[in-house]
């Protein structure tokens, strides 16, 4: 076990402390404790120093079987007014202690980027950036979903999907499939080009071309669309805000919740 007041497993009630661990980690911790399927992980407090993290890193690798995702959970990130989506550094496929230490340092320093300053008006210092470390889902399909239409506010679930990891959808690298799921359970599907996908392998991630026959069809089945829609609606009900989520299916067909935050455009 890891003994530090600056680290909390997501299953721990302590991990819901937004002031210490940021809203991203706190929302996922609440979701875990409400019974949602969330990858095993832990939150690293914003006041945890690099020196302390060095002492804990080997234990973290042992507790969380690689590959690991290392993401930010900064003060103000994933709030009701600002999402900071894609602006802080994220490291996927982390497998060694050295890689984990480098990823931690990179995430903590990413608040000084030009993108952050443009979006937020000023940089965010390392002491305001908590870090989220989680086991990765080896995804066959992944993406985002909104419990309300982010433009109109109507209670239509909007789903965006691509093959492989959700990074290609979140960062706008492809035109994903888009599904509008209506309150009566019917939905409209728009097939995206999905020209590439990002896959996980033993030394990290890489980009592959999507086979033409896969690109031409929807990446999700009817049952999977219904499952994502129900998950997104349940996140809104249980966490208490119109939700913008990230999700993924693994190779066993299990649906995972990877992130949950308020829709900031409403």
Same domain, 25 and 127: yes
- Is residue 131 domain-shared with residue 216, that is, in the same domain? no
Whether residue 15 is found in the same domain as residue 65: yes
**What string of pLDDT tens digits covers the 266 residues of the chain?**
566 789 999 999 999 999 999 999 999 999 999 999 999 999 999 999 999 999 999 999 999 989 999 999 998 887 777 778 778 999 999 999 999 999 999 999 999 999 898 988 899 999 999 999 999 999 999 999 999 999 999 999 999 999 999 999 999 999 999 999 999 999 999 999 999 999 998 778 999 999 999 999 999 999 999 999 999 999 999 999 999 999 999 999 999 999 999 998 87
Q: Classify residue 2: in a domain, yes or no.
A: no
Asked whether residue 28 falls in the same domain as residue 117, the answer is yes
Both 55 and 98 in a single domain?
yes
Q: Is the pTM of this model over 0.85?
A: yes
Same structural domain for residues 105 and 161? no
Q: Is residue 21 part of a domain?
A: yes
State the residue range of the domain holding 37.
7-135
- The verdict on 126 and 150 lying in the same domain is no
Domain shared by 58 and 99, yes or no: yes
Whole-number Å distance between alpha carbons of 205 and 53: 24
Indicate the length of the chain as a whole number.
266
Number of other residues whose CB lies within 10 A of the CB of residue 117: 14
Residue 1 lies in a domain: no
175, 202 Cβ separation under 8 angstroms: no
Q: Which of residues 135, 156, 183 is at a domain's end?
A: 135
pLDDT score of 3: 61
Is residue 209 helix, strand or coil?
strand
Number of domains composing the chain: 2
Task: For residue 243, give both structure tokens.
Answer: 């939700």
Where does a domain end: 85, 100, 135?
Answer: 135
């Amino acid at each position: 076990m890891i003994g530090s007041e600056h680290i909390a497993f997501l299953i721990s009630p302590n991990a819901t402390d937004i002031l210490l661990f940021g809203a991203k980690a706190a929302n996922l911790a609440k979701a875990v404790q409400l019974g949602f399927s969330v990858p095993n992980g832990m939150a690293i407090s914003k006041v945890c120093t690099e020196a302390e993290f060095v002492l804990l890193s080997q234990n973290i690798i042992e507790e969380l079987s690689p590959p690991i995702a290392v993401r930010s959970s900064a003060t103000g990130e994933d709030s009701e007014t600002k999402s900071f989506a894609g602006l802080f550094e994220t490291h996927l496929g982390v497998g060694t202690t050295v890689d984990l230490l480098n990823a931690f340092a990179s995430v903590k320093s990413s608040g000084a980027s030009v993108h952050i300053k443009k979006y937020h008006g000023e940089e965010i210092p390392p002491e305001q950036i908590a870090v989220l470390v989680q086991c990765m889902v080896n995804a066959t399909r992944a993406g985002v979903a909104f419990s309300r239409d982010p433009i109109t506010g109507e209670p239509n679930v909007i789903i965006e999907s691509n093959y492989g990891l959700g990074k290609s959808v979140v960062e706008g690298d492809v035109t994903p499939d888009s599904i509008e799921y209506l309150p009566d359970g019917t939905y409209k599907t728009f097939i995206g080009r999905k020209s590439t996908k990002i896959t996980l392998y033993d030394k990290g991630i890489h980009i592959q071309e999507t086979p033409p026959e896969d690109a031409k069809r929807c990446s999700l089945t009817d049952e999977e669309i219904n499952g994502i829609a129900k998950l997104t609606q349940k996140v809104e009900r249980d966490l208490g805000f119109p939700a913008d989520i990230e999700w993924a299916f693994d190779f066993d067909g299990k649906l995972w919740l990877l992130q949950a935050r308020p829709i900031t455009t409403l």
